Amino acid sequence: MGFFDSLFGKKKEEKKPEEKRICPVCGNSFTGRGMDVHDGTICLDCWELVMDDFEMGRMDEDKEFYIAPIKAAVLAKKGELAADKAAKAEKPKEVKDGYICDECFHTFNELEENGETDKALEDTTLKELSALIARADKQKAANEKRKEQDTCPVCGANVSEKSTGSLWGDIKRSVKDEIPKFVLLKDNQKICAECAEKVRLLYPVQYSRKYAGDGEYEDVYNDTLNTITLAEYKQALADVKTKRKELEEQYGSCEAVLSVSSTHENKRNGKTEYQIRGRILYGKASKGDMIQVAQNGSSNLMRIKWLQQPNGEAADSVGEGYYAIVTVAENTSCIHPGDTLIIV
């Protein structure tokens, strides 16, 4: 798999749009399955409107249906529905001490949970109803505002889920539970994790260890996206394309580029393994990939046996802008902090 296929996935084949047909009954266009009758095909909306009158649900192969009588029945049914709607609109809605308009009635109907709107209105005064509707309007406005705040301004994804307080925790949970998480920008705009990944090449997650006392250390993550505004993020979407092209020209076709921060030995089941800690500068490193290492004028390959996040949690892959612990079986004495490794 090529680098860009690995990073972005292969382009999906375009689906041909379904052919639109005109319903001979209502004149509207429709796609997909319709209802076949003796002299044509009608849309499912018309079919469902009068199917009981024509007993269409019986699947009687000996019975033939024609467009003309179906069209007459549809027009009659639509007329009945329109007349019924008009009659209901004209009928005054009575409350305990007066009458209300149709709009207020529908608002109250939405508030009434048990479905007995008419009975509830009989026990409600105009003053009480006015207070209920005002409260409903206020709640609706608040919901709309919250909905706007909980929507990624870039792609529209839901970002209402609370953060775990740990960047890696958010990313792990978003993958595990398939719930989009967010990154908070400098101007308090929340962008979803997927949109954040698009500019990690320019705005990585910085990692360090902080001494917590008693010989204990804690992981510290600093997301550089927290330092830019939404306008700067949108500019970064354009800038990252230029940067990616420069890196591709510099490193050629590869899966990822790793900047080494440290190396050390580790024991697993009595065997010595070697760990490389560093940040993925470019691309995505995955378990099983090969690392190119220059040694004594030649190039050696080391296979990635394990991938971990800095806190020790296992990972199948780590993308650009994030730190990782890469475990290999080969001796890493030829690798030093500051080295840049190519992963293929």
| Residue 318 to residue 279: CA distance in whole angstroms | 9
pLDDT of residue 166: 43
Q: Tokens for 211, please give them.
A: 């001494």
pLDDT per residue of the chain (344 residues) written in tens, 0 to 9:
444 454 444 444 555 666 788 999 998 988 888 888 888 899 988 888 888 877 654 444 545 788 999 999 999 988 888 887 776 666 667 788 888 887 787 777 776 555 555 667 778 888 888 888 888 777 776 666 666 567 888 888 888 755 444 444 444 444 444 444 789 899 989 998 889 999 999 999 988 888 888 888 888 889 999 999 999 999 999 999 999 999 999 988 899 999 999 999 988 888 899 999 999 999 999 999 999 987 766 778 999 999 998 888 899 999 999 999 999 999 999 999 999 999 99
Which CATH fold would you assign to the domain 253-343?
Elongation Factor Tu (Ef-tu); domain 3 (2.40.30)
- The residue extents of the domains of the chain are 21-90, 93-148, 173-246, 253-343
Report CA torsion sign: 31, 36, 41, 44.
negative
Strand-pairing partners, residue 307, are: 326
- What per-residue confidence (pLDDT) applies to 111? 65
